[in-house]
Amino acid sequence: MFEHRLPPVEILSESSVETLERGWQRIVSEIGIEFMHDRAIDLFRAHGQRVEGEVVFLDPDFVLEQIRKTPNRFGWHSRNPDRTIQFAPDRTAFLPVNSAPFVREGDRRYEATLDAFRRFNRLTYVTDELDSPGCPSCDPTDLPIDSRHLQLQLALYEDQDKPQFASAFDGTGAADSIAMAAIAAGGLDRLIERPTLAGVINCNSPLRYDSRMLDSLFAMAEAGQIVIVTPFILMGAMGPVSVPAALAQQTAEALAALALVQLVRPGCPAIMGSFVSHTDMQSGSPGFGGPESAVGILATGQMARRYGLLWRSGGGGLTSAQIVDAQAGFEALNTLLPAFMAGSNFQLHTAGWMESGLVACFEKFALDVEILRILQREFTPLEIDEASLAFDAHLEVGHGGHFFGAAHTLERFRDCFYRPQVFSTENFDRWTRYGSLDTAARAAKRWPEWLERWEAPPLDDGLHEELREYVARRTAELGD
């Protein structure tokens, strides 16, 4: 898990923050948030909030009172204690692309499969810079839809031992994920004490939480697992064509559901999510990696800190590009860099996102990991001491000499500089001699090499059998 020790960038003036605050408070109190769930409506009503049908009109002070119960330090545990993540305001977890219906592998674009899902799991497992595979990196269409989540969860236990996601797309998936996690943890009480699952609860923007997402929210919160509440706003489609308006809407949607999490289980670990981007006003297609996304990320970090919340950056290695090219690389940087600058605590879609999230791409995964490694190096503060000044090297080389053979260089040349794994620093002749490979071609060579390093992590035979029995039983019950 990355520790960001540099101060976050704050782009909003105090008056702008106050205006945004008035904006989200007017939305929750005057327009309200729709919760398509009887238990949610009953909870809000029981706590004195005005309800009309499925729309809840929230007192802003009540919302703030509830979100203050959200901890900003908690663990995300794994069956391998060395993999446990400790969330804190100065820590960031990075995860790869999630939920893509298609996969790109070289020139081939195909519907997601279980095999591709497992290879992404394993790539994440061998990539130290990534903290969890999430679930699912891609959504396999070669599995029956009703029981698909069971096979995905079982594969996570078999392929890796980092903290993992619940299949929180509906209440059934969340409940089965929790039941399997309780088996692995040694019981539900133990799981509640040591959360091992995280799950994203998306708002059906604008201003609506549907029953499927709320079923998942209740299941996750009741079990004390990590709830990541995330509005999804494409300006022009799910929000106004104004970054400030989208930020106010996003804050209203996120804080309202975070308040619900705390009503379900006070003190439940939760993270404020964000996702603000734009819609191409000519085609209607979503756009990612543009300046609006970057500004939205920077501003969201500032708002989250105002309320003492850990936050998920609405970015990652996002791009609208169709292939691994200059656009894909730049747009990924343009959403990863602001997340670092703003001190994000949780970063989904860090590696492998292509084609506006429709595609999980193996070559893009390798490219994004390179970008991530560079940013993690850049955002590690420079430590300066007498040894780093290398005064003796100047004495040895003198005026007009070179440092290639200096003792200082010979002692440090293997690891003194960042060594790229996908990018090239070869001169032209050497680059030509080795095949004149561009970045996409080098990425296509690298990720299979990384995958070869995978070895199955230890998994107790008894636990493995119990998980498989659960999956078989529930698959039959669900009709698959």
Confidence grade of residue 314 (pLDDT, cut at 50, 70, 90): confident
Q: What is the mean pLDDT of residues 215-227?
A: 98
Which CATH number characterizes residue 149's domain?
3.20.20.480
Distance of CA 321 to the CA centre of its chain: 20
Given a cut of 80, is residue 480 above it in pLDDT? no
Structural domains counted in the chain: 1
Q: What is the mean pLDDT of residues 129-151?
A: 96
Given a cut of 80, is residue 21 above it in pLDDT? yes
CA distances from 31 to 251, 363, 373, 447 (A): 14, 45, 44, 49
Residues 176-206: tens digit of each pLDDT: 999 999 999 999 999 999 999 999 999 999 9
Amino acid at the residue 257: A
Residue 231, domain member (yes or no): yes
Q: Are 123 and 451 in contact (CB under 8 A)?
A: yes
Residue 395, domain member (yes or no): no
Distance of CA 18 to the CA centre of its chain: 28
Give dist(CA 420, CA 435) in Å, integer: 18
Residues 394-411: tens digit of each pLDDT: 999 999 999 999 999 999
Q: Residues with Cβ < 8 Å from 347, sequence gap 6 or more?
A: 92, 93, 94, 95, 312, 313, 315, 316, 336, 339
Rg (CA), the chain: 24
Residues 76-133: tens digit of each pLDDT: 999 999 999 999 999 999 999 999 999 999 999 999 999 999 999 999 999 999 999 9
Confidence grade of residue 315 (pLDDT, cut at 50, 70, 90): confident
Q: Are 231 and 205 in contact (CB under 8 A)?
A: yes
What is the per-residue pLDDT for 458?
96
Q: How many CA atoms lie within 13 A of 114 on its CB side?
A: 15
Average pLDDT over all residues of the chain: 96
Q: Residues with Cβ < 8 Å from 292, sequence gap 6 or more?
A: 235, 243, 276, 277, 278
Residue 433, domain member (yes or no): no
Q: Residues with Cβ < 8 Å from 448, sequence gap 6 or more?
A: none
Give dist(CA 281, CA 235) in Å, integer: 10
Place of tokens 């995860």: 95
Given a cut of 90, is residue 425 above it in pLDDT? yes
Residue 408, domain member (yes or no): no
Residue 158, domain member (yes or no): yes
Residue 450, domain member (yes or no): no
What is the per-residue pLDDT for 423?
96
pTM tops 0.75, yes or no: yes
Which DSSP symbol is given to 48? T
What is the per-residue pLDDT for 144?
96
To the nearest whole percent, how much of the chain has pLDDT over 90?
96
Q: Are 367 and 331 in contact (CB under 8 A)?
A: no
Residue 285, domain member (yes or no): yes
- Domain limits for position 305: 2-8+67-378
In our burial notation (b when 16+ CB lie closer than 10 A, e otherwise), range 70-101 reads: bebebbbbbbeeebbbebebebbbbbbbbbbe
What is the per-residue pLDDT for 420?
95
Residue 41, domain member (yes or no): no
